[in-house]
Structure 1
Amino acid sequence: MRVDGREVPVHGSLLQPLRRRTNDQLRVALSGLAVLAVVLVSYFTKGRWESLEDSVSELIGSASPELSNRVYSLYGVAILALPFAILVGIVFGRRWKLLAGYAAAALLAGIALSITGDGIAAPQWHLDPRDYRDYRDAFLSQFLDDSRWIAMLAAVLTVCGPWLPRRWRRLWWTLLLAFVPIHLFVSAVVPARAMLGLTVGWFVGALVVLFVGTPALEVPVDLALRVLGRRGRGVQELTVLSPAGPGPLVLAARCRFEPGLGSGHGPFPPAEPDGDRTSPDDGEPEESTLVLDLFGQHQRSEGVLRQAGRWLTFRSSETLPPFASLRRSVEHRALMSTAFGALGLAANIPVAVAVLDRGWMMYAHTTSRGAPLDRHDPEHLAAAWDGVRRLHAHQMSHGDLRPENIRISDGAALFDGYARTEVGAADSLMLADVAQLLLVTADMFGIERAVSAAIDAVGAERVVSASGRLTRTATPSRIRRSVRDAGSLMAAVRSEVRARTDTDVIRDEQVTRFSRNQLIQLGLLIGLVYVAYPFLSQVPTFLTEMRSVTWWWVLLGLAVSGLTYIGAAAALWACATESVNFRHLTVMQFANTFAATTTPAGVGGLALSVRFLQHNGLGGVRATAAVALQQTVQVVTHIGLLIVFSFAAGRNADLSHFIPSATVIYLIVGVLLGVVGAFMVVPKLRRWLRDDLRPQIADLTTELVDLARDPGRFLIIVGGCATTTLGMALALWASVEAFGGDVAFVTVTIVTMIGGTLASAAPTPGGVGAVEAALIGGLAAFGVPAAVAVPSVLLYRVLTCWLPVAIGWPTLRWLQRNDLV
């Protein structure tokens, strides 16, 4: 590189990776959303265009043919001259790479809007001026009315825009966008295809820019060197330490002190000697090495997205104040380095901050002093914690205590990396520092030594509070990646803190605006609204039928429905080896109904059962095994009762309604054989079956064998499962009798079990819709009139589903408040 007649060698590439520029990726995403919005709006409002055109015509009226021709002529000349003016500038500027992007964008945009169902449609332009008989057939209007031309112009402007002066770029985009109001005034037609052309051209141009690049890729290193030269540091050599990408472009600059060019101090303290040759005049090193952090537009857009994401997901006390611009962000680093240096805790000293061309900024500082943390030196551990203690004593936080940002010099800790530091920090940010350093030192020096050093430095109370932040959410990913097996290490550190401080439970600190439980509850409420909506439409008819109901049967159905929850609680209580509170377990069944009804396939109920058992003393594996055992016995009991009642009902009822056709049976068998074949052929599925599923099946088999050896426990589980199944059937039978139906209990049991089994495969939460259809169809197959079957099934669902769901929501809240789930 040649700067001011001087050759400066550069080692490494100064270019940014094409695919890592967030601002260009963001432009592609926004333009894609714009295309999608125009397409959807045009599709859903296609039938209203004519009425909209008539309304616009009545409001503004159409221009006369003479005025329309004049407007088309003036605007058409300008819009035709625009791309050629840009093309001439590119050619004379010899920007051949930009010329290739120009041509590619124009070609792709034109082809994109030429694709039809019959292939690519060529433009239908009449170029013979002698045939013009009407102003709408004018030569220029053909271009203005063709969305392909608009798309090509938008694509060309998008590609060339970053290379154009800002004033010209704004002027030409205004000229292009003026097509919409001009066209609307001249012909009173809403230009939907023109809007499609604009957005498609923008999208195509954004894609081309992503692959071709912008001037922001060219790093103005020469300007950075001139700034340093004015500060009295003539750069002799540059080495790329870190290429631009997710972070800044980091350069190591070997400088020679030139006192005649500047004081070298400016607003920042003078650089301390770093061991190089020193000038005898003023103590400045004759040669030294500086580190240059160069920030481009990519870092600005990435920083905005990161700040917006943290503001949306994290609490305000956990989020640093947002920076108004890239300049303020870079200045923050320099000022915080100065503040750390005033306390004697800065590993480096700022030298210069400068705004460069093309949206770049430079932050120059000295190389970091001190040695990295040494896991074999116990003094480094004490020094690191003492440094954080001193930092917090001055109400300052660091926010990024990775090992590379902590250095030790003369037995004292020095800190590097000031992007997330804060003066006047909130207590939550200082606790985050303690948690980060606790995790990092535990990985380097051992858990016991790290916890002891932390307690000695900041106190047991602070360590306990900070340990609540040793979670995946509260610990930043950059910190987790800097240690080995972060998940296990965080759990081990929390256990050690509990043991050292005699703390029973360390509660997880909620750092996000919404906790996981709150999000789950929100999802459950949305699911509840979804599943309840079809039922609400039938409420008026159902209420009318309820006027003739026999209430004694309704009360019986309600009582039997309540017994099913006791049976389910008894079965799970026995599966958990009677180690949980039976009363709490019974109450949990109502919350379980709410969770199961509002999630597909009832997975919410299973997850809630496992979580309840874990909060009541069972380990994760044991709780999962207990729920799996209950579900297995429930299925076996259900099938056994189905076989028994089928034989009983088969003597006096026709069960052919429930037997699938031969085609369906063959299809089911074929699917099952295909699944078995896939598990035998695909290695990944075979490994999952061998390594993950087989041990669980083995554990379940062991549980079943132990269950068979304990008759009392076995009878409780089977009895509870049978009570659940038969109780549901008895509730349906009582509902049918309440509306005057005449059907045998054995028949209703068959309908309940077969209909419920078929409906369990439905993807809807709680099987809503599928359960009702299956039960109504089953009752009709046994001769129950529709006038009785429909309200009976609705009453049955109210008793067994909707009333428990209404009770389940407050029950779930009560369980959470009492730390039972």
Structure 2
Amino acid sequence: MPRTPARVRRRTRVPAPGPPAAGTSSADTAAEEEAHDQPGRAGRALWRRLPLRTAAGLVPAVLVGVWALAHRSLMASGVHDLVAADPGWLLAALACTGLGWAANSVARQGTVLEPLPRLPLLATQFAATAAGQLAPAGLGASAVNLRFLRVNGVPLARATAALALYSLAESCCRVGLLLVLLAANPHALHAKGLLPDGDGLLLLAAAAAAVTAAAVLTLVLAGSLRRAAAGFVTDALADARTLHARPERALALWGGSLVFPLIQAASMAAVARALDLPVAPVPVALAYLAATCAAALVPTPGGIGSVDAALAVALVAAGAPTGAAASAVLAFRIVTVWLPLLPAALTLSALIRRKVL
């Protein structure tokens, strides 16, 4: 009988590891394998050890980019108005903005006894302009300054008291400057249309009374909160007395707090002059101060919306046409906020990475 050929199975053999080549030891072979695997392990270790501070430093720039994309049509309209403006006055407005950061730095130094490093303090105020656009009522800028004080050794309670003292001094100086200019120029603003009348005033009064009553009721019912608030006020007053016992700190606090809104008003007047707004500089400054004081009642991120609307109404009350007032407000927002926004966000990221904040 014929035989059926048997199936031949092919097997692939893995060669057994042979002895190391001549002149190569097992230790050298292990070193070569470790060196070969080193880049992969280094990359994995770098990914695992990516600092949270570095990631946090990238957040402001990303948020600014998203915000700019969302408002690109509005920014394009404002840039179109700026092209025809006087560049000299626009540079003057930009210079006033920079001087405002310097005045802010002086005022911040006046709120604490410890000497703060000057250049990092100035950079922090510049970076705080970006943070201020991301949170309402200046909370972003306050958070940046609080972190800066904590990094420079100021205890949390005293750093918080310093922020409260700055807000109080700046608000008092802003309102006081407005009242002085109004007394010197009583007919610079037309109150009709600028302030609500009738039902509007009644609604504002009712809202203010409700907020005050809610705050008082909360303090009365919450014993621990009341004690904490009383302790904070006591400590803050003690710190304020100590600071005002040193003339250089008191001068820095109140001088910087007074110069800051004055420089901001001058920046608005420079923008109005660049656009040939038919309003004199003093009424423009008055309109800006009145608008910022009124907009403080409606906190929005960076004052966007509340300040813009109040400023447009105030400029119209000062005698500007409606269209020209809107263009001036948009140009002022671009020069003083939007143009420095990306550099400020990058500065904020750098300060976070360098552990200044």
User: Is this a same-fold pair by TM over 0.5?
Assistant: yes
Alignment partners' CA distance in 1, 2:297 and 2:219: 28
Given candidates 626, 630, 638, the residue that maps to 2:166 is 630
Give the SS at the match of 1:538: helix
- The yes-or-no answer on 1:769 pairing with 2:305 is yes
In 2, Cα distance between the equivalents of 1:545 and 1:680?
Answer: 48
Q: 1:525 to 1:746 in 2, by over 3 A?
A: same
For residues 724 and 572 of structure 1, the distance between their equivalents in structure 2, rounded to whole angstroms, comes to 11
What one-letter code is carried by the residue in structure 1 that aligns with 2:52? S
Per-residue displacement from partner, 1:525-583 (whole Å, max 9, x unpaired)?
56535654564213343333333211111111111111000000011112122521011
- C-alpha displacement of 1:735: 0.4
Whole-angstrom distance in 2 between the partners of 1:683 and 1:655: 37
- How many Å separate the matches in 1 of 2:150 and 2:340? 24
Alignment of 1:581-730 (within 5 A): 581-679=117-215, 681=217, 685-730=221-266
Kept in 2: contact 1:602–1:765 (CA 8 A): yes
CA contact (8 A) 1:679 1:686 kept: no
Question: Pairwise CA RMSD of aligned residues?
Answer: 2.8
Contact 1:534/1:769 (CA < 8 Å) preserved in 2? no
- 3-state SS, counterpart of residue 650 of structure 1: coil
Distance 1:813 1:631 in 2: 25
Give the partner amino acid of 1:785: P
Structure 1 residue 753 corresponds to structure 2 residue 289: yes
Structure 1 CA distance, aligned partners of 2:240 and 2:215? 26
Q: Does 1:518 align with 2:60?
A: no
**What secondary structure is seen at the aligned counterpart in 2 of 1:768?**
coil
* Secondary structure at 1:575 match in 2: coil
Distance 2:208 2:90 in 1: 42
The one-letter code matched in structure 1 to 2:334 is V
In structure 2, the CA distance between the partners of 1:813 and 1:676, relative to structure 1 (3 Å rule), is closer
Indicate conservation of the 8 Å contact 1:563/1:727, yes or no: yes
Compared with structure 1, are the counterparts of its residues 653 and 536 closer, same or farther at alpha carbon in structure 2 (3 Å cutoff)?
same
Letter paired with 1:515: L
**Is 1:816 paired with 2:352?**
yes
Q: 1:607 to 1:681 in 2, by over 3 A?
A: closer
Structure 1 distance, partners of 2:125, 2:182, is 29
Q: Which has a greater percent of strand? A: 1
Q: Which has the higher contact order (CA 8 A, sep 6+)?
A: 2
Asked if the contact 2:101/2:126 (under 8 Å) is kept, the reply is yes
**Superposed displacement of residue 622, structure 1:** 2.3
Alignment check: 8 A CA contact 1:598 1:604 kept = yes
Output one character per residue of 1:623-679: Cα deviation in whole Å (capped at 9) or x when no partner.
222222211211111121121122123145423333332433333333343344445
Q: Equivalences for 1:303-322 in 2 at 5 Å?
A: none
Question: Runs of 5+ in structure 1 lacking a partner?
Answer: 1-425, 427-509
| Equivalent residues in 2 for 1:365-444, closer than 5 Å | none
Which residue of structure 2 lines up, in the alignment, with residue 804 of structure 1?
Answer: 340
Q: When the two structures are superposed, what TM-score results if normalisation uses the length of structure 2?
A: 0.78
| Contact 1:601–1:761, Cα closer than 8 Å, also in 2 | no
Distance 1:513 1:664, change over 3 A: farther
Aligned to 2:314: 778
Partner of 1:731: 267
Residues 107-256 of structure 1: matches in 2 within 5 Å? none
Counterpart residue number, 1:528: 64
- Report the structure number with the largest CA radius of gyration: 1
Contact preservation (8 Å) 2:94, 2:267 = yes
**What is the CA-CA distance between 1:759 and the residue it aligns to?**
2.8
Q: Is the 8 A contact 2:188 2:283 kept in 1?
A: no
Q: Work out the CA distance in 1 between the residues paired with 2:185 and 2:284.
A: 10
* Identical residues among aligned pairs (%): 28
Aligned twin of 2:73: 537
Shift of 1:513: 7.4
Amino acid paired to 2:270: A
- CA 1:604–1:679: 2 relative to 1, 3 Å: closer
